[in-house]
């Protein structure tokens, strides 16, 4: 079960699809989409399906440029503005809040996490080789998990800079930017969701301690 909520921002209407926790809510993971696909991307949907069983509510955020069909609203500054506008409403639940997304959505999370007070950042398929860059990724200011396909043309794991102790990188072997793996995508997505779930468990345990 999921709930769809339209939220008005200073840019236009955004759409948040809520996938509620199956038990007492431990945290909210907010995920933005990339430019090639919306929240229907397989990795976002896999997380939305798997994490509620771990007590995590997943909020998939569709930016106004997709909701309204206006590509003029897709620039980085506008994407960040929408994220900042949505954040107070997401915080209103008074639960630990993790910012994340895939590709361009991961960039938004990286750029805004420190200022918004996010507990952590989840960066899926971070586009290191363009339009992203190392300084943006390394500047999150909060614990960060990068999940990257081993054959991602926008940045293979070996191309990433040395990461500080607050950051981790998980490789999905042989996967491309969309986490497609020849003949075995389900296993790749299971590896992804397990890695993210375990990492969130550690972050939330640290908060509780």
* Digit-coded pLDDT (tens) for 147-178: 999 999 999 999 999 999 999 999 999 999 99
- Kindly report the pTM of this predicted structure: 0.97
Q: Of 73, 94, 125, give the one whose Cα is nearest residue 25.
A: 94
pLDDT at 142: 97
Find all residues with CB under 8 Å of 184, minimum gap 6, and list them. none
pLDDT at 180: 95
pLDDT at 148: 98
Q: How far apart are CA 112 and CA 110, in angstroms?
A: 6
Write out the two tokens for 181: 């793996």
Write out the two tokens for 7: 């939220």
Q: How far apart are CA 200 and CA 147, in angstroms?
A: 13
* Higher-scoring residue by pLDDT: 71, 136: 136
Query: What percentage of the chain has pLDDT greater than the value 70?
Result: 99
Q: How far apart are CA 163 and CA 172, in angstroms?
A: 18
pLDDT at 184: 86
């Amino acid at each position: 079960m999921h709930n769809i909520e339209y939220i008005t921002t200073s840019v236009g209407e955004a759409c948040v699809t809520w996938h509620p926790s199956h038990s007492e809510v431990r945290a909210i993971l907010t995920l933005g989409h990339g430019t090639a696909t919306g929240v229907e991307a397989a990795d976002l949907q896999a997380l939305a399906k798997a994490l509620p069983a771990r007590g995590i509510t997943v909020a998939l955020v569709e930016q106004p440029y997709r909701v309204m069909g206006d590509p003029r609203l897709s620039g980085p500054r506008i994407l960040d503005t929408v994220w900042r506008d949505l954040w107070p409403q997401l915080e209103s639940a008074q639960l630990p809040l993790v910012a994340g997304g895939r590709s361009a959505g991961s960039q938004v999370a990286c750029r805004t996490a420190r200022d918004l007070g996010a507990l952590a950042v989840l960066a899926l398929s971070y586009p290191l080789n363009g339009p992203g860059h190392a300084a943006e990724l390394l500047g999150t200011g909060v614990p960060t998990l990068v999940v990257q396909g081993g054959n991602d043309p926008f940045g293979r794991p070996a191309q990433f800079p040395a990461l500080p102790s607050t950051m981790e990188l998980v490789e999905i072997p042989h996967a491309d930017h969309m986490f497609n793996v020849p003949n075995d995508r389900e296993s790749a997505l299971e590896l992804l969701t397990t890695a993210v779930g375990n990492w969130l468990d550690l972050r939330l345990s640290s908060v509780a301690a």
